[in-house]
Structure 1
Amino acid sequence: MSHPRPFLPARRQRGFTLVEIAIVLVIIGLLLGGVLKGQGLIDSAKVKNVIQQSNSLQAAVNAYQDKFRALPGDDIQAMQHVPGASGNGNGDGQITEYQLAPQHLALGGFITGAFNGSSDFMTSAQGGAVYVYNDVVGGRGGNGIRFDNLPDGFSEQIDAKLDDGKFDSGSVRATNPYTNNGSIITRTAVFF
């Protein structure tokens, strides 16, 4: 004789409800949004730092020129004007002596740093090299501040804040069009 089994209620399987899943997804979305916004703020601060560096270097070049009636790097009397300079420029009005320019500015007290006049260079907030230089960038030539290896989004923001936002016109030029795809612009120049 078999005994009838007592009636057991069916086991209820537990899982996540749609409401619980929705709450988790909202929290994940808020966290990702916060991280992305934070990265945007960091990038914005770096762009502002690069712009400030450009403005400061332009002011330093103008102050050097006002004081010594010559451009840093190009100054034919730099060794007399700023004792300790490793060389003079050729005085042609073009700062092709880009390695001497930061040394002349630093020794003259216009910028901070120690530059040997031959192999040292300045760097930007993004880490690329910065030159006070006479160069051709984006179809324009002349003296300016050149920033190397900036993300194209940085170059575009700098151009938009200081000029017209177009890579090949105005006083801010870049070697490539702005694509905002994370590519690197090899040279961005702010001409003065």
Structure 2
Amino acid sequence: MQGPIPRLPAQRGFTLVEIAIVLVIIGLLLGGVLKGQGLIDSAKVKNIIQQSNSLSAAVNAYQDKFRALPGDDVQATLHAPGASGNGNGDGQIAEYQLAPQHLALAGFITGSYNGSTDFMTSAQGGAVYIYNDIVAGRGGNGIRLDNLPDSFAEQIDSKLDDGKFNTGSVRATGNYTNNGSIVSRTALFF
């Protein structure tokens, strides 16, 4: 006769309550990460708006002081000693590579620009120009921001204008879709 059958140690698994608690914690962590990314994006948009406001103020101050637009100034080498060139004085900032150099050398913005290949960048990393351009049917002098996510361009437009890509003083090259696409040009006209 055989003795009693040995008992195997009881296997203990996770209860439904323990699994539910772990899932709630994971959900809270993911929510925090996503909320954090939203805060980072919002800070970048605010930084871009602040940069464009500062550049607009610098252009206005340059124009008040020298009666000319930076980049377009026919006497820039006199007004901003060290400038690599003068503009043609036609009222259109087509000389966009000279504009930041004129502003910096005249003391209205910080930075060093060579007047030919250097350009400013936004908090998102795209190029920033002071430029005469046509965007979404409107032309004129303004600040041009290149390669912004469409959600950034829409937030900028909503905060500074009407939130529509093809009307008002803020224009973009494409409709705001919030699908992660990139808007090649966003212009904030003076």
Bin of the TM-score, shorter chain as denominator length: over 0.9
Q: How far 1:174 sits from its partner (Å)?
A: 0.3
Query: Per the alignment, in what secondary structure is the counterpart of residue 135 of structure 1?
Result: strand
Query: Per the alignment, in what secondary structure is the counterpart of residue 64 of structure 2?
Result: helix
Q: How far 1:6 sits from its partner (Å)?
A: 2.0
Q: How far 1:139 sits from its partner (Å)?
A: 1.2
Q: How far 1:138 sits from its partner (Å)?
A: 1.2
Instruction: Structure 1: state its 5+ residue gaps.
Output: none
Query: Per the alignment, in what secondary structure is the counterpart of residue 42 of structure 1?
Result: helix
- Correspondence 1:109-124 to 2 at 5 A: 109-124=107-122
Aligned residues: 190
- Correspondence 1:112-191 to 2 at 5 A: 112-191=110-189
Q: Distance in 1 between matches of 2:175 and 2:11?
A: 58
Structure 2 partner of 1:88: 86
Query: Per the alignment, in what secondary structure is the counterpart of residue 145 of structure 2?
Result: strand
Query: In structure 2, what residue type is equivalent to 1:158?
Result: I
Q: Distance in 2 between matches of 1:126 and 1:35?
A: 19
Match of 1:102 among 93, 100, 103: 100
Q: How far 1:7 sits from its partner (Å)?
A: 5.9
TM-score by length of 1: 0.96
Structure 2 partner of 1:72: 70
Q: Distance in 2 between matches of 1:184 and 1:139?
A: 19
Query: In structure 2, what residue type is equivalent to 1:72?
Result: P
Q: How far 1:10 sits from its partner (Å)?
A: 6.8
Structure 1 partner of 2:34: 36
Q: 4+ residue stretches of structure 1 with deviation over 6 A? A: none
Q: How far 1:13 sits from its partner (Å)?
A: 2.8
Percentage identity across paired residues of the two chains: 82
Q: How far 1:9 sits from its partner (Å)?
A: 5.6
Q: How far 1:12 sits from its partner (Å)?
A: 3.1
Instruction: Structure 2: state its 5+ residue gaps.
Output: none
Q: Distance in 2 between matches of 1:84 and 1:124?
A: 25
Structure 1 residue 60 corresponds to structure 2 residue 58 = yes
